[in-house]
Every structure is written in structure tokens, then in C-alpha cells.
């Protein structure tokens, strides 16, 4: 029996994948309903292919495909692969099939996201704080970003509504970023349909050890499967799939090594973000071509010049 803790994007996907492939798996979540969380953006190509393996058509959950990503109202990038999806509805669909429960097991999976409730705590963990709302606005269907060195605010189109939020080193700083976003793009405060606060782990897998502890295996954000820009949906699914493959091949002892190999690009991105935050320009410029190449393939079309211009704007 495999006991999974955390039925977020990684845990619920893993539980269903195991079930469909003949494994006995159970899942437990502290919530009674999926977390709406507001993580609406997803690296479409990768997520579509992964969800197909459990019979889910991601296209049925897509709300929009924004054309451009506008940063600090100065830099305009072409969106290649970031789609906005109804994450809550998709999770509800996956949850409807899951075997919920909590009990003895041979293998335990910690898929509890930033809480990392089962694995030992991480030394020098790095948690960022987020605030987010959903509001009605009439804007062109793009992604709007207001960035500074330590975080950014965003506005994502959800069809007829907008998801507005920010993440930074404290809630106060995140709120400040949202205010700046409103000012820069003229997005006035409207009555919110919902408002919540959240957290996100901003550390790459190599800094989230132990990844495996006794019979406990970390999957998803609990072990740092989140890009340098805070994109954790598709990487967490990919991580769950790697766990499933190791289990099926009876090679669980290779799991940590495979995670570290797969997410080399997350390591590069976090190193780049740290260098920018600490003003280590030489290191940042050295890593920049790699980061540009990674993100142009997986998310947003960009050039070294675009990102150099962006860095020069991050003064506050
Ligand atoms: C505000 C915000 C916006 C984001 N936007 C994006 C985005 O647009 N695109 C993107 O790709 N990523 C985004 N992310 C990151 C992304 O949401 C996460 O990286 C991703 O959800 C991680 O998946 P996971 O399954 O590992 O963890 P989660 O999805 O966080 O799931 C963890 C689950 O564990 C449960 N849990 C917690 N403690 C326990 C416990 N003790 N026992 C049992 N269950 C427990 C929780 O209830 C939850 O259901 C965003 C994050 C935040 C906070």
C-alpha cells in the first residue's frame, strides 16, 4: 500500500496514475475540497501530455491563452506556452475518483506542497508569501506583470474575470506589489469574488534534502519542483510521474538521482534569481543565456536583450 499525503496537483495526479496502473494507493488531505489556490497558469505542452496519461484532456479546462506578457509596462514578450486553466475544476474531477483515507503503508509520499508536513524540515528553507483576488475587469487578454528584485505581481485573464496577485518575501511586500501593479496598468480595485493568502517554496530540489527519508518520498513542491519564476504546476506533475516510473521499474533507489537530473533547469533558474536579487551581475549575466533558452522553450518567447532590459528595471 502507498499512502500519499496531500491531494494537490502532484498528489492527486500520482494517486490516480497509481490506481490506473494497478497499484494500491490511498490519499489524505487536510482539506475537504481542493485548494482553489489561484495557480491558474500552466506550461501547456508538458501538462497536456502528462494529464493525457490519466485520461484527462487538459483542453477541457483551459480558460484562456494570453497573447502577450507585459512586464512593468515596458517590456512586451510573446506568450508561447502559458495557458490559463481552471485548476480547481480539474482537481475536483481528479478527486472524484480518488481513494481517500489514512493508514499503515509500505511507502509514504509527502506531496503536501510548501507545508512539507511529513518529511523532515529543510534547513534554511525559503518560503515566499502571496496574496490573491479574483475580480471583474475589462482588459486586453494578456498577462500583466509588475516585477521587482524580490517578487512580482500579476494579472491573469480567466475569461470574464481576472486573477490578481503577488508573491514576495512578506505579505506586506506582496500587497505593495499589487498596489503598484494597479497603479502602473490602471487596474482599479473592484469588489473581489474571493481573496486569500498563500505561500510558495522558492528553493530548488538540491536544497530540499532530504528528498527521501526512510520510506517517505517527497513529490512536487515539498521537494522544490518550482521554477525560479514560481511555476510549480507542470514540474510537480512531472515529479509525480518520475516517482511512478521508479516505482513501476522497481528502482525507487534511483528516485532522488532522477529528480535532480530532471530538474537541472530549476537549479539554474534559482541560481539566476539569487544572483539578480543579490546584485551579483556577473553571475546573472553568465546564466542569462541558459535561462532565456529554457523559458523560451517552456513558457514565454524572450531574448537575452529583453531580460537584460528587465534586470535594469528592477531597481526597487
Ligand atoms: C498564489 C500562488 C500562485 C501560483 N501560481 C502558479 C501558476 O500560475 N502556475 C504554476 O505553475 N504554479 C503556480 N504556483 C505554484 C504551484 O501552485 C505549486 O508549486 C503547485 O501547486 C505545487 O503542487 P503540489 O501538489 O506539490 O502542492 P500543492 O498543490 O500545494 O498541494 C499540497 C496539498 O497538500 C495538502 N496538505 C497540506 N498539509 C497537509 C497535511 N499535513 N496532511 C495532508 N495534506 C496536507 C494541501 O491541502 C494541498 O491540497 C502558485 C503558487 C501560489 C501560492
Whole-number average pLDDT of the chain: 96
Separation between Cα atoms, residue 23 and residue 248, nearest integer Å:
9
* H helix or E strand, kind and range, residue 160: none
**Which residue's CA is the nearest one to ligand 1's atom 3?**
39
Q: Identical fold at 1-40+86-126+202-262 and 65-84+127-201?
A: no
Summarised one tens digit per residue, pLDDT across range 132-157 is: 999 999 999 999 999 999 999 999 99
Distance from residue 115's CA to the centre of ligand 1 (Å): 9
pLDDT value at residue 37: 63
Distance from residue 234's CA to the centre of ligand 1 (Å): 11
Mean pLDDT of 19-34: 97
pLDDT value at residue 38: 74
**DSSP per-residue codes, 190-238:** ---SEEEEEEEE---GGGS--SEETTEEE-GGGGT---TTS--HHHHHH
Residue given cell 546573472 in the structure block: 284
Confidence check: pLDDT of 39 > 90: no
pLDDT value at residue 274: 97
Summarised one tens digit per residue, pLDDT across range 64-104 is: 999 999 999 999 999 999 999 999 999 999 999 999 999 99
Tell whether the torsion through CA atoms of 85, 38, 269 and 141 is positive or negative.
positive
CA atoms within 13 A on the CB side of 132: 21
Separation between Cα atoms, residue 142 and residue 296, nearest integer Å:
17
Distance from residue 232's CA to the centre of ligand 1 (Å): 8
Tell me the fold of 1-40+86-126+202-262: FAD/NAD(P)-binding domain (3.50.50)
Residue 123 CB neighbour total at 10 angstroms: 7
CA atoms within 13 A on the CB side of 127: 14
Query: With pLDDT > 90 as the criterion, what percentage of the chain qualifies?
Result: 94
Residue 199 CB neighbour total at 10 angstroms: 15
According to DSSP, residue 128 is labeled E
Domain ranges of the chain: 1-40+86-126+202-262, 65-84+127-201, 264-316
Mean pLDDT of 260-278: 97
Summarised one tens digit per residue, pLDDT across range 206-221 is: 999 999 999 999 999 9
pLDDT value at residue 266: 98
Task: Determine if ligand 1 sits within 6 Å of the CB of residue 130.
Answer: yes
Task: Determine if ligand 1 sits within 6 Å of the CB of residue 197.
Answer: no
**86 close to 134: Cβ distance less than 8 angstroms:** no
Confidence check: pLDDT of 316 > 70: no
Query: With pLDDT > 70 as the criterion, what percentage of the chain qualifies?
Result: 99
Distance from residue 32's CA to the centre of ligand 1 (Å): 15
Separation between Cα atoms, residue 132 and residue 134, nearest integer Å:
7
pLDDT value at residue 191: 83
Residue 85 CB neighbour total at 10 angstroms: 24
Write down how long the chain is: 316
**Which residue's CA is the nearest one to ligand 1's atom 50?**
39
Beta strands 62-64 and 41-43, pairing class: unpaired
CATH class of domain segment(s) 65-84+127-201? alpha beta
**DSSP per-residue codes, 54-119:** TT--GGGGEEE--SEEEETTTEEEEESSEEEE-HHHHHHHHHTT--B-----SEEEE--GGG--SS
What is the per-residue burial (b if ≥16 Cβ within 10 Å, else e) of 134-148?
bbeeeeeebbbbbbb
Summarised one tens digit per residue, pLDDT across range 179-202 is: 999 999 999 988 888 889 999 999
Confidence check: pLDDT of 224 > 60: yes
**142 close to 68: Cβ distance less than 8 angstroms:** yes
Mention every residue, 6+ apart, whose C-beta is less than 8 A from residue 161: 134, 135, 136, 137, 193
Mean pLDDT of 114-142: 96
Confidence check: pLDDT of 11 > 70: yes
Confidence of residue 105 (pLDDT cuts 50, 70, 90): very high
Percent helix, strand and coil across the chain, each rounded to 5?
Answer: 40, 25, 35
Distance from residue 48's CA to the centre of ligand 1 (Å): 19
Amino acid at each position: 500500500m502507498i499512502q500519499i499525503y496531500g491531494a494537490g496537483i502532484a498528489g492527486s495526479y500520482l494517486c490516480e496514475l497509481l490506481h490506473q496502473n494497478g497499484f494500491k494507493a490511498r490519499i489524505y488531505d487536510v482539506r475537504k475540497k481542493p485548494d482553489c489556490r489561484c495557480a491558474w497558469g500552466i506550461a501547456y505542452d508538458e501538462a497536456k501530455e502528462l494529464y493525457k496519461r490519466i485520461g484527462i484532456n487538459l483542453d477541457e479546462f483551459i480558460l484562456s491563452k494570453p497573447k502577450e506578457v507585459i512586464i512593468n509596462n515596458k517590456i512586451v514578450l510573446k506568450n508561447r506556452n502559458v495557458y490559463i486553466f481552471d485548476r480547481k475544476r480539474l482537481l475536483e474531477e481528479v478527486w472524484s475518483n480518488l481513494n481517500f483515507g489514512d493508514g499503515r503503508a509500505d511507502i509514504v509520499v509527502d506531496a503536501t506542497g510548501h507545508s512539507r508536513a511529513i518529511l523532515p524540515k529543510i534547513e534554511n528553507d525559503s518560503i515566499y508569501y502571496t496574496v490573491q483576488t479574483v475580480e471583474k475587469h475589462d482588459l486586453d487578454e494578456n498577462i500583466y506583470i509588475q516585477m521587482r528584485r524580490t517578487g512580482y505581481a500579476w494579472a491573469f485573464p480567466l475569461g470574464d474575470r481576472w486573477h490578481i496577485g503577488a508573491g514576495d518575501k512578506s505579505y506586506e511586500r506582496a500587497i505593495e506589489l499589487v498596489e503598484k501593479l494597479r497603479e502602473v496598468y490602471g487596474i482599479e480595485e473592484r469588489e473581489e469574488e474571493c481573496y486569500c493568502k498563500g505561500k510558495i517554496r522558492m528553493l530548488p530540489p538540491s536544497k530540499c534534502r532530504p528528498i527521501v527519508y526512510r520510506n517517505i518520498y517527497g513529490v512536487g513542491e515539498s521537494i522544490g519542483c518550482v521554477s525560479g519564476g514560481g511555476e510549480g504546476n507542470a514540474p510537480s506533475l512531472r515529479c509525480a510521474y518520475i516517482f511512478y516510473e521508479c516505482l513501476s521499474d522497481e528502482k525507487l533507489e534511483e528516485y532522488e538521482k532522477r529528480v535532480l537530473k530532471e530538474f537541472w533547469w530549476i537549479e539554474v533558474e534559482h541560481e539566476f534569481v539569487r544572483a539578480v536579487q543579490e546584485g551579483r551581475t556577473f553571475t546573472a549575466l553568465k546564466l542569462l543565456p541558459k535561462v532565456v533558452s529554457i523559458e523560451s522553450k517552456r513558457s514565454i518567447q524572450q531574448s537575452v536583450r529583453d531580460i537584460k532590459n528587465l534586470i535594469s528595471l528592477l531597481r526597487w
